[in-house]
Amino acid sequence: MTRETDPAARVPDGRLHGDLPVVDAAEAAELVPDDATMLVSGFGSVGYPKAVPRALAAAAAGDGDDGSEDADAGRDLSLSVVSGGSVGGEIDEALVEVDAIARRYPFQAREAINAAINDGRVAFADRHISSLGDDVRFGGMVDTDGSVAVVEAVAVGPDWLIPSTSVGLTDAFVEAADAVIVEVNEDQPLSLAAFHDVYRTATPPERGPIPLTAPDERIGGPRIEFDPGKLDAVVETTGRDAPYEFRDPTDVDLRIADRLGDFLEREVERSSLYDDSLRIQFGVGSLGNALMGALGDADLGDRDLIYYGEVLQDGLLDLLDAGELRSASATSLALSTEGQERLFDDAERYAEDVVIRTGDVSNGPALIDRFGVVAVNSAVEVDLYGHVNSTNLGGSRMISGVGGSGDFTRNAPLSVVALGSTAGGGDISKIVPKASHVDHTEHDVDVVITEHGVADLRGTSPRERADALVDCAHPDYRDDLRAYLDRAGEGGGHEPVDLDTAFDWTDRA
């Protein structure tokens, strides 16, 4: 394990450093233009600003200091909100309820913003996480003229800040924004600085390779630095994140986990890629959290187990505590409330093995390839030729966004899609004739795992893929899928398809 410094030495002494423009949240909110592009910290529903968004929502509603409400006096906000990942209700609920968000990029995970997107009230654009920082820094997604970065930190100085529970794309947002507002949250422990490794990539064409040679190496420091002329306001706040609460694993989850564990045991023995260690990534969520448990039970021989992904979830803490995980690299501490308490109570110990990076490093395509990461992500549906829909129910209703699944699925030497075979209480098959929306093509997906089987698609023809995927479908749907393939096959072709009936299955959703 290579360390630039002792992680504990990175923890600052105190939260506010130097002469700072300290104001309250309402005053800071007044500095955000009505039609601003607002770049907010946050990833995995943690590390997002709380007080300023609440103050903006109150201003839009016309709430007075005494709690009175005068809608006619409210601000007419039309914000374009950009985050690295999912954030809390202070942004994606409170601001939506007062119609303060006109545009939202590129990932969200709360019912209010999701409904507004699907109703057409909020314009939404999905995007891969690895390219988001450059999109913002270099004008590829939003107009950052007059933009404001509103970020949560554990400490701040005149030209620097230390993020709280996520790093995400905060570094890029602060660089791109014309103004910066920092919420210093005293309920987020200063010890979080020990986890952070902020590294800023250069501007193309002078950009060189990211100098990370091992998943647990540190190449930066805990601070995000910026032009001191950008710092418009510092707000002292309190209040913990409202993170994911992982459901208990279902019987289906556990059966998928068992199949994944069995597959990985065979794979590490078969391939020289894993002679010394298994490097792996899991998508965020309850299934991903459950799948991590499979690694604790799998027989990997004397190989080290290393996590290189986006989010640190509770399942990884369990593996660290059991001594079964050598290290974890991510961009967010996306833990449950209980998981946060575990980490905060013993931060110095965990920081020896956990590194929290910027999103363009955690999701960097070259690094995923360099470290030979096994990608494990879930999906809405998989079609018979291996095309994967991760984002849109029935092909049209956005769920949350592609997030980092594309970064890992496309660039990993081994990409796995793990999902239950049905949804809707068994009324909907998740193995379908033709995906109603495609996020990951047949060229990017190597293995599909359900509770009913493992379809290893590597080196197979489309017809062979289809046969393997039918065997992974729920038994109730296999005869219908085979009948579909028979009809499609009558027309011939490399990937036989019956367009007249392919999307009949979508109607069942």
In DSSP notation, 344-387 reads HHTHHHHHTTEEEEBHHHHT-HHHHHHTTPEEEE--SEEETTS-
Distance of CA 350 to the CA centre of its chain: 21
Neighbours of 139 (CB within 10 A): 12
Q: CA nearest 265: which of 209, 218, 231, 305?
A: 305
Q: Let me know: does 416 contact 374? Beta carbons within 8 Å.
A: yes
The angle, 0 to 180 degrees and rounded to 10, between the axes of the packed helices 286-297 and 314-321 is 20
Query: Is 310 considered catalytic here?
Result: yes
* Average pLDDT of the chain, as a whole number: 93
**Burial zone of 140 (CB within 10 Å; 0-12 exposed, 13-18 middle, 19+ buried):** exposed
Q: CA nearest 166: which of 178, 148, 152?
A: 152
Strand partners, 239: none
**pLDDT tens digit string along 251-302?**
999 999 999 999 999 999 999 999 999 999 998 777 777 788 778 888 999 9
Q: Which residues contact 400 (CB under 8 A, 6 or more apart)?
A: 86, 107, 108, 109, 114, 391
Please tell me the distance from the alpha carbon of residue 345 to that of residue 352, in angstroms, as a whole number: 14
Q: 506: phi > 0 → left, psi -120 to 50 → alpha, else beta; which?
A: alpha
**pLDDT tens digit string along 430-483?**
999 999 999 999 999 999 999 999 999 999 999 999 999 999 999 999 999 999
Q: Give me the mean pLDDT over the 481-501 stretch.
A: 94
Could you check whether the bond before residue 205 is cis, i.e. omega within 30 degrees of 0?
A: yes
Is the predicted pLDDT of residue 71 greater than 60, yes or no?
no
Q: Let me know: does 285 contact 250? Beta carbons within 8 Å.
A: no
Q: Give me the mean pLDDT over the 96-114 stretch.
A: 96
Can you list the alpha helix ranges (DSSP code H) found in 6-147?
Answer: 25-30, 51-61, 89-92, 94-97, 111-118, 129-137
Is the predicted pLDDT of residue 499 greater than 80, yes or no?
yes
Please tell me the distance from the alpha carbon of residue 319 to that of residue 315, in angstroms, as a whole number: 6
Please tell me the distance from the alpha carbon of residue 280 to that of residue 290, in angstroms, as a whole number: 14
Q: How confident is the model at residue 1 (pLDDT cuts 50, 70, 90)?
A: very low
Q: Both tokens of residue 238?
A: 């309190």
Q: Write the single-letter amino acid at 87.
A: V
Q: How confident is the model at residue 339 (pLDDT cuts 50, 70, 90)?
A: very high
Edge-to-edge strands, sheet with 431-432: 388-389, 381-383, 431-432
DSSP letter for each residue of 210-225: ----STT---SBSPEE
E runs forming strands in 361-471 = 374-377, 381-383, 388-389, 392-393, 397-398, 414-418, 422-423, 428-429, 431-432, 447-450, 453-456
pTM reported for the whole predicted model:
0.94
Please tell me the distance from the alpha carbon of residue 329 to that of residue 305, in angstroms, as a whole number: 12
E runs forming strands in 43-194 = 79-83, 101-105, 123-124, 148-157, 160-163, 179-185
Neighbours of 187 (CB within 10 A): 13
The fraction of the chain above a pLDDT of 70, given in percent, is 96
From 90, 310, 381, 442, the catalytic residue: 310
Residue ranges of domains in the chain, CATH in brackets: 7-237 (3.40.1080.10), 251-508 (3.40.1080.10)
Q: Give me the mean pLDDT over the 150-156 stretch.
A: 98
The fraction of the chain above a pLDDT of 90, given in percent, is 86
Is the predicted pLDDT of residue 313 greater than 70, yes or no?
yes
- pLDDT of 72 reads 59
Cα dihedral 378→93→170→137 (10° resolution): 90
Q: Give me the mean pLDDT over the 364-393 stretch.
A: 97
Neighbours of 70 (CB within 10 A): 10
Q: Let me know: does 452 contact 399? Beta carbons within 8 Å.
A: no
Q: Write the single-letter amino acid at 185.
A: N
Q: Worst-scoring range by mean pLDDT, 16-20, 68-72, 387-391?
A: 68-72
Q: How confident is the model at residue 2 (pLDDT cuts 50, 70, 90)?
A: very low
Q: Is 30 helix (H, G, I), strand (E, B) or coil?
A: helix
- pLDDT of 350 reads 96
Q: Worst-scoring range by mean pLDDT, 5-14, 102-111, 117-126, 145-154?
A: 5-14
Q: Give me the mean pLDDT over the 35-64 stretch.
A: 95
Tokens 């942004």 belong to residue: 91
Is the predicted pLDDT of residue 68 greater than 60, yes or no?
no
Q: Give me the mean pLDDT over the 383-388 stretch.
A: 98
**pLDDT tens digit string along 168-216?**
999 999 999 999 999 999 999 999 999 999 999 999 999 999 999 999 9
Q: Both tokens of residue 336?
A: 């449950």
Is the predicted pLDDT of residue 349 greater than 50, yes or no?
yes
